[in-house]
Amino acid sequence: MRISSIDIGSNAIRQVIVETDREGLATNQWITLKKYRAPLRLGSDVFEYGSIQPETIKKLISVFKKMARFNKKYKVLKNIAVATSAMRDSKNNTAIINLIKKETGIKITLITGALEAKYIQQSIIKSNLINFNNSLLIDIGGGSLELTAVRDLQIKEAGSFPLGVVRLMNKIRKKKITLIQEASKYIDPFRKKVISTEFSIAIGTGGNFDALSKLKMDLLKKTPQTNLTITEIKSIYSIWKKLSLRQRLALNIRKDRVDVLDVALPLIILILEKFQIDKLKIPNTGLKEGVIQSYLS
């Protein structure tokens, strides 16, 4: 069976097409046939104007038509498209969702922050990536931040907060907030709920963490890229701040990720410091994969 999973985020739209019934595959496993990413920043519209603007809607329709063509090319039998923070907050989301369904045949489901966190948890846990008794799962998107406390391999506490990097960047630019003040307002109450847990590691998902893993190689020349210490992350951020825009664009990261890393990197450091975590693992899985896992289960 071929499944298409689409993640409509605040910073980009991502699609993955997988095949689940190849010979030799175990239950709930798959092989990836196609990956596609459109750098369409819905959050810039929504967090500024409260709704997705006409020009962005045109681009959005074009992206979905392209993904519909991929579905046809790869003979997809099941398509699952979920929309997170930006689409969730947009005043005209219903009209846009109906238009996309009419134009492309793709049905979009708005999901809550709690369900988004649950899908991400499934992506990590079902993939056997948690092998530590006490872990803090961190997903930093464009519109929201999801934190999940895992104790004795069981999910004990989870929260979704309006601390996505595009949302924060917009507020900081308007000088409405500082990163530390805004993040602490949401993170500190969550920390008090789980303060009895000593986390052995943090597990980070989302494009910002994927970029961080590439920066470890580019700036520190060290491996493995998917395992970092807080000291290494601070070193990366220290180097990053001194780079010119031209030097940043020459690195092995996406162009649309460059500006948000100014917010993402200090946010990651702040979270690790608040929870007194020294180690970070980046498994390169997330919402798209969690949606597939949930469907197969």
Where in the sequence is the domain holding 81, given as residue range(s)? 2-111
pLDDT at 128 (0 to 100): 61
Same domain, yes or no, for 29 and 170?
no
| CA dist., res. 148 & res. 138, Å (int) | 7
Same domain, yes or no, for 19 and 93?
yes
User: Final residue of a domain: which of 111, 139, 168?
Assistant: 111
Same domain, yes or no, for 192 and 59?
no
In a domain, residue 116? The reply is no
Same domain, yes or no, for 77 and 199?
no
pLDDT at 26 (0 to 100): 72
Q: How many CA atoms lie within 13 A of 39 on its CB side?
A: 9
> 44-48, 152-156, 229-233: lowest mean pLDDT where?
152-156
User: CATH code at 195?
Assistant: 3.30.420.150
Same domain, yes or no, for 138 and 265?
yes
CB count, 10 Å around CB of 223? 10
Higher pLDDT, 118 or 213: 213
pLDDT at 231 (0 to 100): 98
Query: Angle at CA 263, nearest 5°, toward 175 and 249?
Result: 115
pLDDT at 127 (0 to 100): 62
CB count, 10 Å around CB of 158? 18
User: CATH code at 35?
Assistant: 3.30.420.40
Q: How far is CA 39 from CA 9, 93, 234, in A?
A: 10, 19, 27
pLDDT at 28 (0 to 100): 72
In a domain, residue 279? The reply is yes
> What count of residues does the chain have?
297
User: Given the structure tokens 């996406």, which residue do they identify?
Assistant: 254
In a domain, residue 146? The reply is yes
Residues 6+ apart with CB under 8 A from 52: 42, 45, 46, 60, 86, 87, 90, 92, 93, 96
CB count, 10 Å around CB of 74? 16
User: Final residue of a domain: which of 50, 76, 111?
Assistant: 111
Alpha helices (runs of H) in the chain, residue ranges in sequence order: 42-49, 54-73, 85-89, 93-104, 113-126, 165-173, 179-193, 207-215, 230-242, 245-249, 261-274, 287-296
In a domain, residue 89? The reply is yes
Burial environment of residue 45 by CB neighbours within 10 A (0 to 12, 13 to 18, 19 or more): buried
> Helices 179-193 & 261-274, crossing angle to 10 degrees?
30
Residues 216-261: tens digit of each pLDDT: 999 999 988 889 999 999 999 999 999 999 999 999 888 889 999 9
Residues 51-103: tens digit of each pLDDT: 999 999 999 999 999 999 999 999 999 999 999 999 999 999 999 999 999 99
Higher pLDDT, 264 or 156: 264
Highest average pLDDT, of 139-153, 186-200, 261-275, comes from 261-275
CB count, 10 Å around CB of 232? 18
What average pLDDT does the chain have?
92
Same domain, yes or no, for 152 and 18?
no
Same domain, yes or no, for 209 and 138?
yes
pLDDT at 51 (0 to 100): 97
SS (H, E, C) 61-123: HHHHHHHHHHHHHCCCCEEEEEECHHHHHCCCHHHHHHHHHHHHCCCEEECCHHHHHHHHHHH
User: Final residue of a domain: which of 111, 146, 176?
Assistant: 111
In a domain, residue 126? The reply is no
Does the pLDDT at position 124 exceed 90? Answer: no
pLDDT at 204 (0 to 100): 94
What is the tally of structural domains in the chain? 2
The dihedral through the CA atoms of 217, 222, 225, 226 has a sign that is negative
Does the pLDDT at position 32 exceed 60? Answer: yes
Q: Are 137 and 203 in contact (CB under 8 A)?
A: yes
**149: part of which helix (H) or strand (E)?**
strand 145-151
Highest average pLDDT, of 149-163, 183-197, 243-257, 263-277, comes from 263-277
Same domain, yes or no, for 63 and 173?
no
In a domain, residue 78? The reply is yes
| CA dist., res. 4 & res. 149, Å (int) | 29
In a domain, residue 33? The reply is yes
Same domain, yes or no, for 152 and 205?
yes
Same domain, yes or no, for 195 and 259?
yes
Does the pLDDT at position 129 exceed 60? Answer: no
Same domain, yes or no, for 137 and 278?
yes
Rounded percentage of the chain residues whose pLDDT exceeds 90: 73
Does the pLDDT at position 268 exceed 80? Answer: yes
In a domain, residue 140? The reply is yes
pLDDT at 162 (0 to 100): 94
The region that residue 243 occupies, defined by phi over 0 for left and psi between -120 and 50 for alpha, beta otherwise, is: beta
Q: How many CA atoms lie within 13 A of 117 on its CB side?
A: 21
Same domain, yes or no, for 246 and 149?
yes
